[in-house]
Structure 1
């Protein structure tokens, strides 16, 4: 259950961030509600994940790493934002770091 809550937190945060980009600096007012709703839902689901017993280092690490990676890839597709090989390397390093933290927590 906690992994489903975390997945929901990641998804809603990614959607909110993409809506923030689509709002064009809040000049397009129609995107304000999806931004606010997405972030509130994301923090609620992150709180739920933590209350279900996931360690904060794991939850936050996975949440941020997946958020960074997904936003970068989807923004490339939707908004034609840059996604260079260096950015891809950075995403891979972030994910490797989170995996290392998670494996370290399991090894206790």
Structure 2
């Protein structure tokens, strides 16, 4: 799956894949997702975000992402480069793109 040449304007979650998403707290967080995500690219994505984290990649500990590429990502939060946070993935970085910081989940 490829996302390419996209302009974001004050978007809350410009780039997000979250395998721990659980909208009604009915999930067992001790059991990781068994869905394998691979070969996803985000190229030439630019614009502004409402959140400090413009890139959020939270992957399953059971089947981590494979072949995720970030290339030429230029997202701004309050005029500064937006951050990228990641868990269980090491994206391939090409060109200008933020380096992933460790994802820190909110306390339950």
User: Do they fold alike, i.e. is TM over 0.5?
Assistant: no
In terms of fraction of residues, the more strand-rich structure is: 2
Instruction: Say which one has the larger Rg.
Output: 1
TM-score when normalising by structure 2: 0.26
TM-score when normalising by structure 1: 0.26
In terms of fraction of residues, the more helix-rich structure is: 1
